[in-house]
Amino acid sequence: MAAGPLARRESRRFLLFALPWVIGFVFFSGGPIIASIAISFTQWDLLGTPRWIGLDNYDKLLGDDVFWTALDNTLYFGAGSAVLSVIVNLAMALLLNMRLRGQAIFRTIIYMPSVLSGIATALLWIHVLHPDYGLINHLLGSVGIQGPGWLIDQDWAVPGLILMSVWTTGNAMIIFLAGLQGVPVSLYEAAQLDGAGWWSRFRHVTVPMMSPVIFFNLVVGFIGSLQAFQLILFMTDGAPGNASLVLGLYVYRYAFKFFDMGYASTIAWALFFVVIVFTALQFLLARRWVHYEHR
């Protein structure tokens, strides 16, 4: 199909209208992505000139114990946050979907923390998780449980961070709620006629029908939580020791504490690789449990 003058004029207009994004792509997204690959092959402290060192940074990465610790923590935090958020938000969406009175108020309250999430609420959670003066150990104490040393104890730093992150994932609840409204009522009625109780209705109707939505929230949640580090930087900065050091934070540390731009870029690409691998893995596993109505 030969492009006529009209089509060419429209194509020029397309470029003109897309121009802000094109410039942004060159300088702030696509360009830096390509530059980052090149930087990862150099040694560069930002003051001198970059020195080409080939694969040395990648070699260093494989032998870097702290990197492997950070990878461990990233997967622990990422999986913990994604899975717990799916469970909590699905439960809340199921309760909300019963069309009880005041549904809108409950939805607002559950979703609000996601909007507020930031440094202010991170500071709040530092206080809420405080082992001695905090709300959570106070509540645990009132039912006779000695609360752990959230954020301070080696074993309780990541669980504390997971708890806070789940508090701010109300968007998953909104998506579940929209999905639940698409499950045909007739299926529940048929199950009820067969004498199915609420658990088997949940197990054999809700879960299969909702499995694409559960899968979506799991994948999006995991991608997000694998990259999360801003609030972790503020709350623990990786402490105690490196118990809450995640890969995103490790990138930040090398770039802005040690000014090793090459190695920081290498860690960033390792993080990308981890995200891709675990997303692909979830798509592979999805064949076993995700049920699509129309193929």
Q: In the complex with another protein, which residue's Cβ is closer, 83 or 94? A: 94
Considering the complex, what minimum distance in angstroms separates the CB of residue 286 from another protein? 16
Instruction: Rule CB under 8 A: say whether 202 interacts with another protein.
Output: no
**How many binding residues for another protein (CB under 8 A)?**
91
Q: Copy the structure tokens of residue 236.
A: 């623990």
Instruction: Rule CB under 8 A: say whether 58 interacts with another protein.
Output: no
Over the Cα atoms of the chain, what is R_g?
24
d(CA 144, CA 142): 5
Task: Provide the angle, in degrees to the nearest 10, between the axes of the packed helices 207-227 and 65-96.
Answer: 140
Instruction: Rule CB under 8 A: say whether 14 interacts with another protein.
Output: yes
Considering the complex, what minimum distance in angstroms separates the CB of residue 234 from another protein? 6
116-140 as b/e: b if 16+ CB within 10 A:
ebeeebbeebbebbbbeebebbeee
Instruction: Rule CB under 8 A: say whether 92 interacts with another protein.
Output: yes
Q: Residue 165 CB: number of other CB atoms within 10 A?
A: 24
67 and 267 Cβ atoms separated by less than 8 Å: yes
Which is nearest to 85 in space by CA: 274, 271, 216?
A: 216
d(CA 127, CA 125): 5
Considering the complex, what minimum distance in angstroms separates the CB of residue 39 from another protein? 6
Among positions 2, 4, 5, 20, the unique one binding another protein when judged by CB under 8 A: 20
- Interacting span for another protein (CB under 8 A) from 78-86, 112-120, 151-159, 286-294: 112-120
Among positions 66, 135, 145, 280, the unique one binding another protein when judged by CB under 8 A: 135
Considering the complex, what minimum distance in angstroms separates the CB of residue 54 from another protein? 18
Q: Which of residues 164-193 bind another protein (CB under 8 A)?
A: 167, 171, 174-175, 178
Among positions 51, 59, 118, 145, the unique one binding another protein when judged by CB under 8 A: 118
Considering the complex, what minimum distance in angstroms separates the CB of residue 13 from another protein? 5
Instruction: Rule CB under 8 A: say whether 25 interacts with another protein.
Output: yes
Amino acid 9 reads: R
Instruction: Rule CB under 8 A: say whether 132 interacts with another protein.
Output: yes
d(CA 11, CA 247): 42
Instruction: Rule CB under 8 A: say whether 82 interacts with another protein.
Output: no
Rounded to the nearest angstrom, the gap between the alpha carbon of residue 79 and the centroid of all alpha carbons in its chain is 9
Among positions 61, 82, 210, 275, the unique one binding another protein when judged by CB under 8 A: 275
